[in-house]
Structure 1
Amino acid sequence: MRHLLLSTAILFAGPALADRIETTARVTDVTVYPWGAGVTREAALDLPAGAHELVIPGIPEGVAPESLRISGEGAVIGAVGFQQERALPETPAKSPELAAAEDRVRQLKSELSAHASRVAGIKAQGEAAEDLIEFLMKLAESDGMAGNDIAALSGTVGQQLLQARQTAIRAEAEAEAADQGREDLEERLETAEARLEALRGPESARGALVVAVQGQGQPARIRITSLTGDASWQPVYDLSLARKESKLRLDRGLLVRQNTGEDWSGVHLLLSTARPMDQSAPSELQPQFPRIGENEARLYSRSAAPMAEAAMDSAERYEVESVVLDESGVAGSALAGVVGETVVYDYPTPVTLRDGADALRLPLDSHELTPEVVAEAVPRRDDTAYLVADTVNSTGAVILPGSASFYADGALVGRGGLELTAAGDKMKLGFGPLTGIKLEHRTPDETEGARGLISKSSERQEVAELRIRNLTAEEWPLRVIDRVPVSTQKDLRIDWRADPAPDATDPDGKRGLLVWNRSIAAGEEQVITLSTTLRWPEGQMLVGADD
């Protein structure tokens, strides 16, 4: 989308603008948000006293014109125009690196052209010799040879054929030898062109700022800030568990991307959790006026005229709220920003991030956490236990949602994500399967029902065995998790019994979950028996009891 903001005709009291000055503004500071970025660029120049029109080309197309803010030191800022249609062309000075890269590409292209010409000349000698051979052969076969001295002509033609064949063979060998350096030249040219392309920066639609300024006869610094939606950042984590040492290290990093149409070179980078591009105020609800009416059967028995009158009456007296359903059939609403205080990460060293070319990962910090390692078993769902570390967010700051890599004793065991975790809150982290601890969910009374189920018209019974076998050579702390149904109706009665009894029920408010905390020795097998009975009134049907 293109935008055009025009400056007013009269900018300052006094004479017309004295002259037009073109300068460049380099990006110096960038604040990247989870979506979008605030970009600050600066232009420094000696500005003579008086009124001037300052032209700053090279402003990317993705900049939101309404977000532009301009301030000046050593100058008074007047009207500002952001031109994208008929914008003045950008004429930046070439850096020494760019000029050298262009010279290198030109040199290699010239060398490759000279190489090709040399090889082509050698091949031409061989082709000429082949043409001579073809001519002599046709001459020897012609009718004009019959009246001549056959012996003399044969000697002459034979000598010329020999020389031509020797020339062709020699030219072919020389051409092959001369062509050996071509691939090396082409590779060097490809590398030089890639370097030149990187130094040139992105080619995108650009606009220009036209700023009316009043110079004060001293060095001036123009500061331009703007917002763009073409950048983002997200946290990334590495979690490394050393089980025997009972150590857990959390390494935090930041993954930054930008596709703004310009390169950021050596900028001061801030990462903010604020979301200026998102909703900033709560949603507004409109009154809802439900009404009752006659049932559907009676309405259909009426004539159309009274129904139409009732509809018109309803439209005049009531405002009914419209509801939009998403794909799941639930009323949708705009996403709100992150709740809580804004967190800002000030990266300590300058950063270079090219347009669309990098997903830059920046290290942030590391923290040592205290883990409690356990083998967690869910026989109803899994056939092996999993290595789990229970810990607490002791970093002193909130852990933001982000992707994570999990390492156990130096080996990568999984990829996943971390949820939003407040400082001091609990964390449960999984570090891959323990294939030596086998799990089985068994229903032993299969002859009495479908997979251990005994069903009647108003009763259902289930007997299940949770089997855990430790095939490793060491003892493990063990946590077994299973569940029983939960009734939300007074007429549905649920009784259950476990042997042995669980150590905890309804952990963290999760109704129906059962937890056994124990240890399992090397080579040991443990069995937990869980019996469940559901009863309901005759004539009713049980719904939603299966897994």
Structure 2
Amino acid sequence: MRRLLFSTAILLASPALAERIETTARVTDVTVYPWGAGVTREAALDLPAGAHELVIPGIPQGIDPASLRIVAQGAVIGATGFQQERALPQAPAKSPQLRAAEDEVRRLQATLGERDAGVAEIKARAEAAKDTIAFLMNLAESDLAGGGDIATLTRTVAEQLLQARQTAIRAGLEAAAADVGREDLAEELARAEARLEALRGPQSERGALVVAVQGQGQPARIRITSLTDQARWEPVYDLSLQRREGRLRLDRGLLVRQDSGEDWQDVHLLLSTARPMGQSAPSELQPDFPRLGDAEAKHYRRSAQPLVAEAAMDAAERAAPAPVAASALVGLVGETVVYDYPTPVTLRGGADALRLPLDSHEMTAKVVAEAVPRRDDSAYLVADTVNTTGAAILPGDATFYADGAMVGRGALERTAPGDDMKLGFGPLSGITLERRVPDEIEGDRGLIAKSSERRETAILTVRNLTDEDWPLRVIDRVPVSTQKDLRIDWSADPDPAETDPDGKRGLLVWNATIPAKEERAITLTTTLRWPEGQVLIGGD
């Protein structure tokens, strides 16, 4: 049994002794990741029994040779070579569409060439007539000067001049008529050439697979999988808010790009959140062994080469994770989401950014006018909602619509099912904001206290210039002390409804309704005290 297996291995690993068969492998399935893609090709052929060398040209050189995997039904796969720099001559089969486009370009080129040749012939007759006129004029002058029969010569020259001029006029008219429509024909040719260029696909360098196979005298199906890093996908979102109804629609889509060096025609497409091109295991830390020594030895070590090597190793460890595109879907630890697109997809290399609709979800929203007077001069339309899609919302670009009008673009963060979401839908120019500081005092409180003080009183004013009442949320902040010697006190009128929301220390939130054509004011006083002789650093 061992001898039989050994002989079979030698047979399959010796393609030079086998019959060469050339075939093509069409891309049938593609799995696109946030960075990279897995590409599957299939070749079907009648494979006679015995050893053969199977040549599959047209393989893009951008694939990772180490990722090549080949399986077969109806055959046994042996040694596989991926030829790149010195690939075997390739004659990839042309599709019927490509052949038809080539025939159309050739037809239009011939038609345009015949038209131009006909116009050139007519113009040549006109030029010949002009040359005849010049010749007759010169001839008449020379004969008249010689004293010949003036009357006869005059009649002859006049008749021939008339004929030549008539010929020139007719030729000019014929040339103008023949030239009509040339511009339309040239535009049609340009469109046909553009279509042909699009069908030809990217003109990149291609390689060839050379596979040793053992045929079994039956139809064989060869399946080839490989990885390329020249593809990616990212989620995109449209969020449409119906303000008065309190409804929010989330439309999810997938934006796919690839520059693999070939076109993917009518392929089965999967979009996966896995990252096979990136880091697959946690980073590894090395032991750290600090040592004690005198000051000179420490100084010497800090300036010596071992320190440089240590720093380089630390930098390498920090850089160990493979780079992931900015659109990578992060945060799905321990799980992979796969979107199986239901219809075949065509994606041309380096040419298409394909947006695929995924699904839509209706959510309820609480609409408020959110005001941040410290930073903005108008309130913003904000929708508070909850992720009720039943799945995580992945990071991606988003376009926001309010009552049918686009109001801005932004990005969504990863949001787990059931988590709260706060979405902004543009400024409300009819609700204006102002933050004034009429009273600010800084100085000593006296020699007894031995301390310094800073007090600020701010007036936050919100004016509703619209004709409707608005639910209002006002946000401001007070400083937070992280030192026991710095004492901070504050007071507000009215009191805020919430302090330190979501653990954000120092933030204050007021909730109210502001009627139409009215204003609301908030007074916020902050006092900072610190010991005498020290200086306050930071703060607005």
TM-score, normalised to structure 2, is: 0.90
Offset of residue 444 of structure 1: 2.5
Could you tell me which of 414, 422, 442 is aligned with 1:455?
442
Partner of 2:212: 212
- Partner SS, residue 101 of structure 1: helix
Work out the CA distance in 2 between the residues paired with 1:290 and 1:134.
105
Asked whether 1:412 is paired with 2:406, we answer yes
Amino acid at match of 1:264: W
- Residue correspondence of structure 1 range 87-102 to structure 2 within 5 A: 87-102=87-102
- Residue 182 of structure 2: aligned partner: 182
Task: Measure, in 2, the Cα distance between the counterparts of 1:321 and 1:92.
Answer: 52
Which of 313, 335, 342 in structure 2 is aligned with 1:348?
Answer: 342
The farther-off stretch of 90-99 and 65-74 is 90-99
Match of 2:371 in 1: 377
CA contact (8 A) 2:13 2:79 kept: no
Structure 1 position 282 matched with structure 2 position 282: yes
CA distance, structure 2, for counterparts of residue 389 and residue 15 of structure 1: 67
| Alignment partner of 1:507 is 2:507 | no
- Per-residue CA deviation, residues 211-256 of structure 1 (Å, 9 max, x unaligned), is 1111111111111111100110000100001111211000000011
Alignment of 1:187-198 (within 5 A): 187-198=187-198
Say if 1:386 and 1:431, in contact at 8 Å, map to a contact too.
yes
1:110-189 paired onto structure 2 within 5 Å: 110-142=110-142, 145=145, 147-189=147-189
Cα distance in 1 between the residues matched to 2:65 and 2:307: 44
SS in 1 for 2:181: helix
Amino acid at match of 1:507: P
Q: Distance in 2 between matches of 1:131 and 1:313?
A: 92
What displacement does 1:170 show? 2.2
RMSD after superposition: 2.7
CA distance in 2, matches of 1:153, 1:173: 30
Query: How big is each residue's C-alpha offset from its partner over 1:490-512, in whole Å with a ceiling of 9 and x where there is no partner?
Result: 11111111111111111001111
The alpha-carbon distance between structure 1 residues 141 and 290, as it changes in their structure 2 partners (threshold 3 A), is farther
Tell me, in whole angstroms, the C-alpha distance in 2 between the residues paired with 1:393 and 1:468. Answer: 31
- Aligned pairs for 1:441-452 (under 5 A) are 441-445=435-439
Contact preservation (8 Å) 1:288, 1:319: no
Q: Are 2:522 and 1:528 equivalent residues in the alignment?
A: yes
Q: 1:237 to 1:307 in 2, by over 3 A?
A: closer
Deviation at 1:154?
Answer: 3.7
**Cα distance change, pair 294–505 in 1 and its aligned pair in 2 (3 A):** farther
Measure, in 1, the Cα distance between the counterparts of 2:263 and 2:307. 59
Structure 2 vs 1, CA of residues 396 and 60 (structure 1 numbering), >3 Å: closer, same or farther? Answer: same
Give the Cα–Cα distance (whole angstroms) in 2 for the partners of residues 538 and 317 of structure 1: 44
Separation (CA, whole Å) in 2 of partners of 1:368 and 1:316: 61
Equivalent position of 2:470 in the other structure? 476
Q: Structure 2 vs 1, CA of residues 229 and 177 (structure 1 numbering), >3 Å: closer, same or farther? A: same
Tell me how far apart the structure 1 counterparts of residues 429 and 303 of structure 2 sit (CA, whole Å). 71
Contact 2:14 2:212 in 1 (8 A): no
Inter-partner Cα distance in structure 1 for 2:156 and 2:182: 40
Instruction: Give the aligned residue type for 1:117.
Output: A
Alignment of 1:305-384 (within 5 A): 311=301, 320=310, 322=312, 334=321, 338-340=331-333, 341-384=335-378
Question: Does the CA contact (< 8 Å) of 1:16 and 1:51 recur in 2?
Answer: no
Structure 2 equivalent of residue 465 of structure 1: 459
Corresponding residue number in structure 1 for 2:86: 86
Distance 2:419 2:20 in 1: 60
Q: Letter of the 1:456 partner, please give it.
A: G
Instruction: Measure, in 2, the Cα distance between the counterparts of 1:362 and 1:422.
Output: 23
Give ranges in structure 2 of 5+ residues lacking alignment: 1-7, 325-329, 445-451
- What is the letter of the counterpart of residue 41 of structure 1? R
Q: In the alignment, which residue of structure 2 is the partner of 1:69?
A: 69
Taking the aligned partners of 2:62 and 2:241, their CA distance within structure 1 comes to 44
Is the contact between residue 492 and residue 536 of structure 1 (CA under 8 Å) also seen in structure 2?
yes
Report the secondary structure of 1:136's partner residue: helix
Matched, 1:435 2:429: yes
Question: Is the CA contact 1:288–1:321 (under 8 Å) kept in the aligned structure 2?
Answer: no
- Per-residue deviation, residues 409-445 of structure 1 (Å, max 9, x unmatched): 1111111111111111111111111111111111224
Q: Structure 1, residues 126-156: CA drift from partner, whole Å, max 9, x if none?
A: 1112222333334455585262344543443
Q: For the structure 1 residues 114 and 210, does the alpha-carbon distance in structure 2 shift closer, same or farther, using more than 3 Å as the test?
A: same
**SS of structure 1 residue aligned to 2:237:** strand
Q: Displacement of 1:277 after TM fit? A: 0.7
Q: Secondary structure at the match of 2:253?
A: strand
* Cα distance, 1:478–1:316 mapped onto 2, change above 3 Å: closer
Note closer, same or farther for the CA distance 1:307–1:26 as it changes in structure 2 (3 Å cut): closer
Q: Structure 1's 226 and 160: CA in aligned 2 closer, same or farther, altered over 3 A? A: same
Aligned to 1:263: 263
In structure 2, what is the Cα distance between the partners aligned to 1:35 and 1:13? 35
Find the counterpart in structure 1 of residue 57 from structure 2.
57
1:401 aligns with 2:388: no
Give, in angstroms, the shift of residue 42 of structure 1. Answer: 1.1
Contact 1:287 1:321 in 2 (8 A): no
Could you tell me how far 1:292 is from its partner in structure 2?
Answer: 6.0
Change (3 A) 1:140 1:460: farther
Aligned pair in 2 of structure 1 residues 182, 324: CA closer, same or farther (>3 Å)?
farther
1:425 to 419, 425, 440: 419
1:432-465 CA-partner distances (Å, limit 9, x unpaired): 11111111111224xxxxxxx3222632222211
TM-score (norm 1): 0.89
Q: 1:37 to 1:316 in 2, by over 3 A?
A: closer
Q: Which amino acid in the other structure matches residue 442 of structure 2?
A: S
Corresponding position of 1:449: none
Q: How many angstroms does 1:314 deviate by?
A: 9.1
Aligned residue identity for 1:120: A
Structure 1 residues 18 and 370: alpha-carbon distance in aligned structure 2, compared to 1, 3 A threshold: same
SS of the residue 2:11 aligns to: coil
Change in CA separation of 1:155 and 1:352 when aligned onto 2, cut-off 3 Å: same
Shift in Å, 1:163: 3.0
Contact 1:393-1:421 within 8 A present in 2 as well: yes
Alignment CA distance shift 1:147-1:318 (3 Å)? closer
Task: Tell me, yes or no, if the aligned pair for 2:15 and 2:52 is still in contact at 8 Å.
Answer: no
Aligned with 2:45: secondary structure?
strand
Q: Which residue is 2:447 aligned to?
A: none
Q: What amino acid maps onto 1:166 in structure 2?
A: Q
Q: Give the match's secondary structure for 2:509.
A: strand
| CA displacement 1:275-297 (0-9 Å, x = unmatched) | 111111112222334456666xx
Distance in 2 (alpha carbons) for counterparts of 1:385 and 1:354: 45
Separation in 2, partners of 1:377, 1:200:
56
Flag the 1:540–1:332 CA change in 2: closer, same or farther, 3 A.
farther
